[in-house]
Structure 1
């Protein structure tokens, strides 16, 4: 692990997770997905997102024709599984707050998936940080300001890197421009998982 990097106010910790820790966490996330399968969300206007997602914790973040929101159950009706201890340990090490996360959003990126610039602002207390964990293939992470438009900065996030959006950067626009296929061997068929931990209410 190297020292923290500031990217537009977002703190990135390269290599926070060792290779062994990444393997263990990937196994924990497979168990989450087995309990609450990945699904293809769509925007309120009906456009399918290129990522697939699920969640763990008290809440999952949902996007569909009814809008963006948190729900206490998976779209299938099953309860979300608990957040794995391996994931909670990252929050405890880097979030810097006493509250525990209530949602671990799981986003799966294949080589064609993208995530446009957006803010995470569906939570009740925006003083609580968002902690983002990267597993698998490299992804080009872009960060802007707290208003849309203007200058952005980018960094390649690699497997085991952790980013923390907090303080003035809590509402920074951010997204994933592209994934570099075959850049990690963590998942036998390639791809990237992004875990984002949030306090919801």
Structure 2
């Protein structure tokens, strides 16, 4: 929000979970949005995710690098058009490493026994999940636990403001902290918080920066799979 009385400050929400407001400047937001629009086009484009119980997620999704579906990864859109998943670009991995270094420091705050997983500069980000939320979309409390790597998760927000609920590693219920994420905000969680439950209980329609040209919210989530290059399709 422009000309705030008190600019929003960096905040550590839990050990290893850090919110950096306004991390992407307006130009960087527009560039990332343009890329998301390209990725959303078919084949292997934006889709509705269906759960094993027959329900559907209200946020629509497109994947890069590895295709996520509940609750596994594949190299093709096995629950959609069957096309090969789109390539994860090198520049997006560099953005993820810079985000972790700025949020968590040079060691990434990765606790034992994961010291061998390296520093932010060595994290091989190779998955992006891009979720699009309209005004009615939500995301239930869940953990990002389908990867084999303990490297931090990087979350970038574009468009409408949302309530991001960040919880604990034991249960979907309290204790949790509600954080307001606006366009350009960065949220990183790793270390002791890598497997914390989190979700999006609310989106505020019409709150995106007008100059961005986006109605709704995009969330770009970067992860390190930890999968071998020859990992078979599951």
**TM value normalised by structure 2:** 0.78
Aligned counterpart in structure 2 of residue 124 of structure 1, from 148, 155, 178: 148
Give yes or no for the alignment of 1:165 onto 2:183: no
Question: Which 5+ residue runs of structure 1 have no aligned equivalent?
Answer: none
Could you tell me whether the CA contact under 8 Å between 2:97 and 2:123 is conserved in 1? Answer: no
Which string of whole-angstrom CA distances, capped at 9 and with x for unpartnered residues, describes residues 61-108 of structure 1?
112xxxx11111123122222234553332020232512211100101
Q: CA deviation at 1:198?
A: 0.7
**TM value normalised by structure 1:** 0.90
Q: CA deviation at 1:187?
A: 5.5
Instruction: Provide the residue aligned with 1:69 in structure 2.
Output: 72
Deviation >6 Å, runs of 4+: none
Could you tell me whether the CA contact under 8 Å between 2:26 and 2:212 is conserved in 1? Answer: no
Aligned counterpart in structure 1 of residue 165 of structure 2, from 138, 142, 147: 142
Give yes or no for the alignment of 1:42 onto 2:50: yes
Instruction: Provide the residue aligned with 2:224 in structure 1.
Output: 199
**SS of residue paired to 1:107:** strand
Question: Which 5+ residue runs of structure 2 have no aligned equivalent?
Answer: 1-6, 101-119, 228-234
C-alpha RMSD over aligned residues: 1.8
**SS of residue paired to 1:29:** helix
2: distance between equivalents of 1:73 and 1:195? 19
> Bigger radius of gyration, 1 or 2?
2
